[in-house]
């Protein structure tokens, strides 16, 4: 006769809950790009500008400058202003500050983010205070009153946004640690974008040249800076 051997019961304890994950750290560079260097925030009355340029430095996308150009009339134009406002071109730019001339544009972005990060902001409100104190350039210009900018605009129809793309090339062209630029055009039923490194002959180089053509025409902006734009 087989003897039954008592078997100890196995008690499965419930798994211990996973330790709570700490919330991710506040990304100063990403939030700076979103609050201060988004051209869609430059004109509250026109969130989609006719032209937008954003220049970022190095692999870490350090914010260097951003430009938005508004075309045409706004709701506050009335009377005689409605007769001429249709062709108005107003540019606004935010640019990371730098004392003197940087050796490379990305140095502006690195210095700005370093300055902001030292205050350890943990919210957008705290970052806005840092941006207020950081001394960013916030300026605007009447493009039609800027001869060099108008001369640059005259060459815009010649730009090819796909220049440099060659699907017959056996190996892709590799560019390491490059600054990048995003250039958007928006018109009635027509949109175009270039996004990539500043390869000669591309619309991205044209956009950077347009930014340079506005030097000497900037004046302090009449609107609140984008990070303080009402309702945004």
Q: Yes or no: say if 46 and 130 are a contact pair by the CB < 8 Å rule.
A: no
Examine residue 147 and state whether it is found in any structural domain, yes or no: yes
Q: Are 161 and 194 in contact (CB under 8 A)?
A: yes
Quote the pLDDT of residue 23.
40
Residue 95 has pLDDT above 80, yes or no: yes
Task: Please tell me which residue, 148 or 84, carries the higher pLDDT value.
Answer: 148
The DSSP line for 72-110 is S--TT--TTHHHHGGG-EEEEEEE---SS--SSTHHHHH
In this prediction, residue 232 has a pLDDT band, given cuts at 50, 70 and 90, of low
Tell me how far apart the alpha carbons of residues 9 and 79 are, in angstroms, rounded to a whole number.
91
Asked if the model's pLDDT at residue 183 lies above 60, the reply is yes
Distance CA 178, CA 166 (A): 19
Partners of residue 183 on adjacent β-strands = 53, 194
Give the range among 42-56, 82-96, 154-168 with minimum mean pLDDT: 154-168
User: Does residue 172 fall inside a structural domain?
Assistant: no
55 within a domain of the structure (yes/no): yes
Residue at 43 is within a domain: yes
What mean pLDDT, rounded, does the chain reach?
85
Over residues 48-59, the mean pLDDT reads 95
Region of residue 117 (left: phi > 0; alpha: psi -120 to 50; beta: else): alpha
Question: In which band, very low, low, confident or very high, does the pLDDT at 162 lie, cut at 50, 70 and 90?
Answer: confident
- Give pLDDT, residue 164: 66
pLDDT band at 24 (very low <50, low <70, confident <90, very high): low
Q: For residue 33, is it within any domain?
A: no
141 part of a folded domain: yes
pLDDT surpasses 50 at 13: no
- If one counts the domains in the chain, the total is 1
In this prediction the pTM is 0.84
Residue 178 per-residue DSSP state: -
**With left for phi above 0 and alpha for psi between -120 and 50, is residue 229 left, alpha or beta?**
beta
Q: What percent of the chain has pLDDT over 70?
A: 82
pLDDT of residue 194: 93
- CA dihedral 126→128→134→139, nearest 10 degrees, is 180
Q: What are 62's strand-pairing partners?
A: 57
Residues 101 and 212: beta-carbon distance below 8 Å: no
Distance of CA 156 to the CA centre of its chain: 21
CA distance 185 to 165: 19
Let me know if residue 228 belongs to a domain. no
| Least confident interval from 74-83, 106-115, 121-130, 138-147 | 74-83
Res. 191: pLDDT tops 60:
yes
Domain around 113: 38-159+177-222
Angle separating helix axes 106-117 and 124-133, nearest 10 degrees = 120
For the chain, give the longest Cα–Cα distance: 114
Q: Looking at the predicted structure, is the pLDDT value of residue 16 above 80?
A: no
What the block records as the tokens of 37 is 């260097």
* Mean pLDDT of the region 150-164: 88
CA distance 178 to 194: 15
Q: Does 14 reside within a domain? A: no
Choice among 26-40, 56-70, 125-139, 182-196 with the minimum mean pLDDT: 182-196
Q: Can you give the pLDDT at residue 203? A: 94
pLDDT value of residue 168: 72
Query: What pLDDT, on the 0 to 100 scale, is given for residue 217?
Result: 98
């Amino acid at each position: 006769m087989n003897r039954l051997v008592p078997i100890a019961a196995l008690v499965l304890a419930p798994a211990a809950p996973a330790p709570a994950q700490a919330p991710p750290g506040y990304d100063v560079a990403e939030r700076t790009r979103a609050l201060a260097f988004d051209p869609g925030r430059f004109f509250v009355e026109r969130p989609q500008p006719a032209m937008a340029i954003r220049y970022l430095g190095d692999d870490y996308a350090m914010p260097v400058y951003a430009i938005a150009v508004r075309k045409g009339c706004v709701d506050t134009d009335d009377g005689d202003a409605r007769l001429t406002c249709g062709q108005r071109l107003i540019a606004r730019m935010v640019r990371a500050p730098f004392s003197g001339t940087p050796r490379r544009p990305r140095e502006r972005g690195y210095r700005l983010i370093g300055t902001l990060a030292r205050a350890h902001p943990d919210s957008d409100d705290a970052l806005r205070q840092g941006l207020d104190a950081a001394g960013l350039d916030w300026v605007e210009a009447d493009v039609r009153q800027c001869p060099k900018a108008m001369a640059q605009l005259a060459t815009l129809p010649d730009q090819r946004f796909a220049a440099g793309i060659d699907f017959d090339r056996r190996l892709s062209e590799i560019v390491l640690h490059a600054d990048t630029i995003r250039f958007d055009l928006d018109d009635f039923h027509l949109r175009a974008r270039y996004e990539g490194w500043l390869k000669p002959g591309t619309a991205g180089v044209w956009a950077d040249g347009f930014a340079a053509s506005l030097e000497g025409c900037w004046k302090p902006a009449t609107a609140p800076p984008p990070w303080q734009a009402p309702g945004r």
